[in-house]
Chain A
Amino acid sequence: MPRAATVLRLAAFALLVSFLVAPQRFAPLFAPLTQYGAPPIYDQGNLLTLALAQLGTVCVAAAASSLVAVGLGILVTRPSGARFLPLSRTLVNIGQTFPPVAVLAVAVPLVGFGERPTLIALFAYGLLPIFENTLVGLRTVPPAVLEAASGMGMSARQRLLTVELPLAAPLILEGIRLSLVLNVGTATIGSTVAAKGLGEVIIAGLLSSNTAFILQGGLVTGLMAILLYDFLAALERRMLRHVTLD
C-alpha cells in the first residue's frame, strides 16, 4: 500500500473526528458561506451524536440485510431451495428499483416516524448487493472441491460451514461493504421523517438557506462513507488472511 494513501487516510480521519468533537473551532472556515449573521456551525444538535446515530441506523439495517440476504442466498443454492431462486432474484431486484424515498414514505403510515421507516427503506435497498454476491460466491466454489468434500464424508451442513461459506466469504463481505457504504448516504433521507442523523443538518440548511449547514451535513456524510469503505476493505483483507490459518 503506497504510504501517501495511508497518510491521506489518517489525515482525513483526524479531520473528521476533530470536526465532530469540536466543530466550533472550524467556525471561521464556514463563516463566509453564511448570510445575515446566521450561525456558521450547526447549533440545533450535537454533530457527533447525529453522526453516530446515522452510523448506528446504517449498521443495524446492514446487519438485518446481511442476515436475510446471506440466509436467502444459502437457501436458494441448496437443492431443496432451488425452487425459490428465480423469485428471490426478482424480488431483490425490485427492492433496489424501488426508490428508497418511496419505501420510506409508504412505511411511515405503517410503522410511524423516526428510525423504523428508515430502517425498512435501508434494509430493502441494501439487500441486492449482498444477495447477488452471496449467490455468485457460493456458485463459484470449484465443483471438484464440493465433490471431494461430499466424497470424504462431510454432511451437507459441515460442507456448507467449513468449505462453501469460507470460500464464498470474500465476495459476501464485499457485498456487505458495498451495501453499507451505499446506505450511509441514503440514510440522510431518513431525516425527512424525523430519524436522527446528519440529514437534519442538511434540511435545516435548506430551510434557512444556510449553505454552511448544508456543507457540514453533506461533507461529513461523504467523508464518513469514504473512510468506512476504506476501513472495511482493510478489515476484510485481515480477516481473510486468518481464514487459512484457522
Chain B
Amino acid sequence: MIEVENLTKRYGETTVVDRVSFTVERGSIAVIVGTSGSGKSTLLRMINRLVEPTSGRVLIDGRDTRGDPAHLLRRRIGYVIQGYGLFPHRTVAQNIATVPRLLGWDARRIEARVRELLEVFSLDPASYADALPHQLSGGQQQRVGVARALAAEPAVLLMDEPFGALDPIIRTKAQDDLRGIQQRFGTTVLLVTHDMDEAFRLGDRVAVMSAGQLLQYDRPAALLTRPAAEFVSRMTGLADRALRLLSLVTAGEAALPGPSDGPAVAPTISLREALSELLWSGADSARVVDADGTVRGRLTVATILARGRP
C-alpha cells in the first residue's frame, strides 16, 4: 500500500508537483497519466526518493519513507525505467541478482530466485542466464528489467514508461504479462505513462496529472463517465469515449443467459472487441464460450450498446 500525502516539489520558483495526495491499495495497479511536463515522472521518483520532496510525505505499508537512508529504502522497492538500464558488463543472471546480493541473500537462495524469475518471464535459464544484455532483443531486455526489479520480492514496484521502447505488437503482450505477474506476486504497482490506452488496459485506478496537479484519481470508467475536469475528458478522448467504456467490460461480465447461433467469442475479450466481431460477421448475437467449451451465455448488439453509455 502506498499513501502519498501532499507531496510537493519546487525548483526555485517553479512548482513541478503540487500537493498531490492519493492512495494505492495493496496488490493493485495504479497508473499515472499525463502529458510531458505534467510532473508524473518527478512524482514517481519522489516515492523512492531519487528526488527529495520539498514537502509532503510518502508512507509505504504504514512506514514513512524518510525513516531509512535513501539507498536502503530503494532496495525494498522495485524500479523499472524506460531504457531499463541493464548493466552491460554483467550477465542476465548477475543483473537479476543485483539487489538480492546487496541485501546479502545466500548464494543458493539467489540462484533459486533467478531461476524462478527467468522461468516466469519465459526466458529459458539454460540459454539466457549467462547471456549479456546486448545479445537480447528489446522485448527480452524489457522482461529482464522487470525481473531484476522483482528479484528481492519487493512489496512495491515503480515503473516509468516501461513499455515505451517496445513495438506495438510486443507492447500489448508485455502489458498483459505484467498483469499476470502482478497477480502472481501480489505486488503493488505504480506505473507512469503518457499512453491512455495503456492506462485503461492496466490500471485498477488511474491518476490524471496536468501541470503538477492531480486532476482525478478514479477507476477508469469513472474518468469517462464522471470526468472531474475538461482536461480529463480531453485526455481520455471525447470522440470514442463510448468505445473506451466498452473496452473496460469483458464479454464474460456482460453475457446474458440465452442461446445464440452467432460466432463464438471468449469471455475474456472486451465488449469493444466483441462488438467489432459482431459487426464484421453481420450476426445479431454472439455465443460466449470458454476455452474448454462451456457456454457462458450470449451477447447481443443491443446488450453491448447499452453498456456503452454512462
Contacts and interface: CB of A to CB of B under 8 A. Distances in A.
Tell me if chains A and B make direct contact, with any CB pair below 8 A.
yes
Interface stretch (B54-62, B78-86, B171-179): B78-86
Interface stretch (A39-47, A153-161, A230-238): A153-161
Given A145-B86, A151-B79, 12 more contacts: A144-B84, A148-B84, A148-B85, A149-B85, A151-B50, A151-B81, A151-B85, A152-B99, A152-B102, A156-B71, A243-B89, A244-B132
Interface string A200-225: 00000000000000000000000000
A28 interface: no
A30 B270 CA distance: 92
B50 A145 contact: no
B182 interface: no
Nearest to A158: B102
A64 interface: no
A97 interface: no
B79 to A, nearest CB: 4
B91 A152 contact: no
A153 B77 CA distance: 8
A167 interface: yes
A155 to B, nearest CB: 5
Interface string B84-114: 1111111100000011001000000000000
A153 B75 contact: yes
B238 interface: no
Contact of B71 (A148, A153, A243, A244): A153
A166 interface: yes
A244 B90 contact: yes
Interface size on B, as a range, is 20 to 34
Interface residues of A, number: 20
Contacts of B88: 142, 145, 167
B74 A144 contact: no
Contacts of B77: 153
A150 interface: yes
A106 B50 CA distance: 50
Nearest to A167: B89
B72 interface: yes
B73 interface: yes
Nearest to A244: B89
Interface string A72-105: 0000000000000000000000000000000000
A168 to B, nearest CB: 10
B87 A163 contact: yes
